[in-house]
Amino acid sequence: MEQEYIILLQKILVVLFSVTLFWKIIKHMCGLLVIEKEPVTVLVTGAAGQIGYALLPMIARGVMLGPDQPVIIHMLDIEPAAEALNGVKMELIDAAFPLLKDVVATTDVVEACQGVNIAVMVGGFPRKEGMERKDVMSKNVSIYKAQASALEQHAAPDCKVLVVANPANTNALILKEFAPSIPEKNITCLTRLDHNRALGQISEKLNVHVSDVWNVIIWGNHSSTQYPDINHATVKTTNGEKSVRDAIANDNWLNTEFITTVQQRGATIIKARKLSSALSAASAACDHIRDWVLGTPKGTWVSMGVYSDGSYGIQPGIMYSFPVTCEKGQWSIVNGLKIDELSREKMDATAKELMDEKTLAYSCLIDD
């Protein structure tokens, strides 16, 4: 009897061992199988333009969402640009991007917005010589009102929106107002370009790598009233981590030339290139989305233009650039940072400009 039990026990052990081994082999093989993620649909408006041309290959190579994230690109532009837009589509096909699962090139805003998970609004009416601010504002208000509707009705739920076209903050505000079913936290504007420019200026001044500088802040409007703030920025030096202000040891430069350089960098680029920034704007747009979706690195924040909730004494109801961290696809304003007197003035000045822009935008709507 005992003999039978021992044999039975042995049989059970053998069976258990085989099953466990078999299971481990199956799991290992499944691990080797690369299961591709579902593609994410990314819309770029104004896609036939300069920024679009720089941005699209970045998206298609995984710079925006990661090297393992397949994408479907929707490109929208206006009718006069239809042939150029098709040329860009042809080039995207010619580049044989492994991550690019489909390209839709269209002048129809409904088709463009269909099923979109991420929308980068680069298209807008550029200011031409002789135009008054009110004229530019008026044209852009109409554009963003129409696109808000289309996005709201046709985009995927939880679509994340980044407005790049200037006036970025106010265009984003209009978009938010006319797409009430898109959560206001999903509508942002680009100040990452200014943030990156500030990092670049500090790294050049200190002769360090730009990846060794972090936690600058861009407050307010993506315009010349923006406030590049280094009071909480850190730099890694050969003697360890220091505050940027201590490392630079030149408050005068930090409070004047540094600020104006960053504020006016756009104009400087135009003067040198005879064209506005495209490469760096596109790159910043990728950084903005990537950090938003995949999260900011620990201990680091970035700057994003977001719907103000009254933090830091800034009026709610405008799109204002704040320091934010991102986790699980959501941004949160970094609270509790000390604001000195100089900073307070500058933060309020840019907020005032945004209030004025909002008033101007609404007056254009009434005139419509």
Partner 1 sequence: MAKEPVRVLVTGAAGQIGYALVPMIARGVMLGADQPVILHMLDIPPAAETLNGVKMELVDAAFPLLKGVVATTDVVEACTGVNVAVMVGGFPRKEGMERKDVMSKNVSIYKSQASALEQHAAPNCKVLVVANPANTNALILKEFAPSIPAKNITCLTRLDHNRALGQISEKLNVQVSDVKNVIIWGNHSSSQYPDVNHATVMTPSGEKPVRELVKDDAWLNGEFITTVQQRGAAIIKARKLSSALSAASAACDHIRDWVLGTPEGTWVSMGVYSDGSYNAPAGVIYSFPVTCKNGEWTIVQGLAIDEFSRKKLDLTGQELTEEKELAYSCLS
Where does this chain bind partner 1 (CB under 8 A)? 53-54, 56-58, 61, 63, 67, 83-84, 86-88, 90-98, 100-101, 193, 196-197, 199-200, 203-204, 209-211, 265, 268-269, 271-274, 277-280, 282-284, 287
Nearest distance from C-beta of residue 110 to partner 1, angstroms: 24
Are 202 and 216 spatial neighbours (Cβ–Cβ below 8 Å)?
yes
In this structure, are strands 227-229 and 217-219 parallel, antiparallel, or unpaired? antiparallel
Minimum Å distance from CB 269 to partner 1? 6
CA dihedral 275, 276, 277, 282 (to 10 degrees): -100
**Alpha carbons 175 and 177: distance in angstroms, whole number:** 6
Residue number with CB closer to partner 1 (19 or 95): 95
Identity of the residue, 202 or 318, whose beta carbon is nearer to partner 1 in the bound complex: 202
Nearer to partner 1, 43 or 100 (CB): 100
Catalytic residue among 74, 222, 232, 288: 222
Q: How far is the CB of 111 from partner 1 (least distance, A)?
A: 19
CB of 94 to partner 1, least distance (A): 4
C-alpha of 242 from chain center: 28
Can you list the pairs that 88-95 forms with residues at least 24 positions away whose Cβ atoms lie under 8 Å? Answer: 88/47, 88/48, 88/52, 88/53, 88/56, 92/56, 92/57, 92/60, 95/57, 95/60
Residue 222 a catalytic site member: yes
Compare residues 287 and 353 and give the one whose CB is closer to partner 1: 287
Nearest approach in angstroms of CB 287 to partner 1 is 8
Choose between 45 and 201: whose C-beta lies nearer to partner 1. 201
Residues contacting 232, CB < 8 A, separation 6+: 215, 217, 243, 323, 337, 338
CA 355 and chain centroid, separation: 23
Parallel, antiparallel or unpaired: strands 240-243 and 234-237:
antiparallel
Please give the positions annotated as active site.
Answer: 222
